[in-house]
Amino acid sequence: MTWVSLPGYFKTHGYTTLGGGKTYHGGLPPFSDGDLSWSDDRPYFESSDKRQCTSNYLKPSGQHGAVCPDNSTNLTEFTDYSNMQSMISNLEYASQVQKETGKPFFLSYGIHRPHLPFHFPAEWPGPDGNTINIWEAYGPDDAIDLPLHQQAPVGMPGIAFTYEMDGDKGVAVNGTTYPIPGPNGNGTNKCPFCGPAFPDNVTRVMRKGYYSAVSWVDYCAGRVIARLHELGHAEDTVIAIVGDHGWQLGEHNIWGKHTNFELGARVPLIIRAANQTANLKSDALAESVDIYPTLAALAGLPPPDDVDGIDLSSLWTDPSPATPLKTVAYSEYPRCAPPDAAWTPEPGYTNPNSCVTTARQNFTIMGTSMRTDAWRCTFWMWWDGLKLAPDFTKPPAATELYAHTNDTESNFDTFENVNVAPNYPAVVAEMMAMARKQWEKV
């Protein structure tokens, strides 16, 4: 199969394409896609991260737990900072090439955090020269809000829950390791290694660590954008910021990303067009697959061939179109244990339902999820390993339907707490028709 990556598409149109960090997941694709995606001007760069945790804020100092506001003032020890320095150097190089030859550039900076562990420098220099202590900026631990719903949704099928905590059965905070929480929140489920919800103080430290790691990301990305301004490219460059997945911070008693819930499937997406003067916000449904054709359009390039997704660039002139550009957003996430054995891990792995070490043809079930303005519906379909597609000749192993009516997107903890699929058979049937149309074309 021949395919052209997003940076490769810009490269074929005469761009200098340079990248680094976690743009591609380590080793996937091999050699970070080499010269298919990247110009040979400069190699793809990804640094290693500081391994040892040294922190005065958590005890015992030196333990590499799930959260670490690190004392180190040598920011180059942290992978996102080192990758940021490389990206700024790439930006300066590409800018010079453009000024000398007129050749445009495409740069991709893959930021690792806020991935677990939430390990970041506690302090860094602010724009005014003063030091920012991000851990203290978020206030005392007991000021951090707790999740409203620290249990699985009412009526949730067991197959929908995830125990993914980056491959671990427990999480270490302040020198104590706590078992991964189970779905009912009180530790009386069938999972042999699960526990109750984390103690409130642990949940707060974990959430504070995530927020701080996000602020660290904001600082690193901001440094690159600031340099773009200094080099005079702010008005002629498209800037896109996107996450590769969501994350649950104790909502549904989950601390992970491997779900088809809103908090796992939904990602931040910010795009600034060249010469954009006003801030715009749109409630239009969008998917990550739309980024490729949208960036091509905003750069003035022809539509890419054989690419899923649609061009969203019309939203810059009409953020709230009378006719929606799309009426549904799709996502999927697999499971590798049958629904009647939801606590059984795959061979050689510690977490139930995980497919981390399983070849695609050996998946058990695929969760196919659809989000409309009013609903999220997920069908857990048996997997056809030969076609590498959900098998719609069989009824779903489980079904979920969550109402999003009046969802203003101001509090993600408010919705998807009751599975109402039994109450709305007509909606479920409509969603199944949409799922068949989407996935049977594979």
**385: how many CB neighbours lie within 10 A of its CB?**
13
- Map 233-252 to HEC letters: CCCCCCEEEECCCCCCCCHH
**Whole-number Å distance between alpha carbons of 76 and 70:** 13
Closest of 7, 132, 145 to residue 69, by C-alpha: 132
Closest of 286, 382, 380 to residue 333, by C-alpha: 380
Cβ pair 367, 378 in contact under 8 A:
yes
pLDDT value of position 342 = 46
pLDDT value of position 200 = 97
Phi-psi region of 441 (alpha: psi -120 to 50; beta: other; left: phi over 0): alpha
**Whole-number Å distance between alpha carbons of 418 and 293:** 36
Residue 318: both structure tokens together: 């009409």
> CA of 161: how far to CAs of 35, 104, 215, 229, in Å?
40, 46, 29, 44
Phi-psi region of 31 (alpha: psi -120 to 50; beta: other; left: phi over 0): left
Q: Please tell me the number of Cα atoms within 13 Å of 134 on its side-chain side.
A: 25
Give the distance from CA 334 to its chain's centroid.
16
**Whole-number Å distance between alpha carbons of 53 and 63:** 6
Residue 100: both structure tokens together: 């000398």
> CA of 119: how far to CAs of 49, 101, 246, 268, in Å?
9, 41, 18, 21
* Total number of residues shown for the chain: 442
The Cα angle at residue 307 between residues 228 and 280, in degrees rounded to 5: 45
Bridge partners, 377 (sequence order): 370, 401
Cβ pair 132, 123 in contact under 8 A:
yes
**Whole-number Å distance between alpha carbons of 360 and 338:** 15
pLDDT value of position 190 = 63
> In which residue ranges of the chain is CATH 3.40.720.10 found?
6-139+201-316
Strands (E), 358-406: 365-371, 375-384, 389-390, 398-403
Cβ pair 257, 264 in contact under 8 A:
yes
Q: 3-state SS of the chain: helix, strand, coil percent to 5?
A: 30, 20, 50
Give the phi and the psi of residue 420 in degrees, each rounded to 5.
Answer: -105, 15
Give me the CATH topology for the region 6-139+201-316.
Alkaline Phosphatase, subunit A (3.40.720)
Per-10-residue mean pLDDT, the chain, length 442: 89 97 86 92 93 84 79 96 98 98 98 94 90 96 95 90 77 89 66 85 96 97 97 96 94 91 94 94 95 98 93 97 96 81 50 73 93 97 94 95 91 92 98 95 70
Give the distance from CA 253 to its chain's centroid.
18
Task: Check the CA dihedral 64-241-286-385 and report its sign.
Answer: negative
pTM of the predicted protein model:
0.94
pLDDT value of position 339 = 66
**Whole-number Å distance between alpha carbons of 57 and 68:** 8
**72: how many CB neighbours lie within 10 A of its CB?**
18
**Type of residue found at 32:** S
pLDDT value of position 52 = 87
**Whole-number Å distance between alpha carbons of 280 and 272:** 9
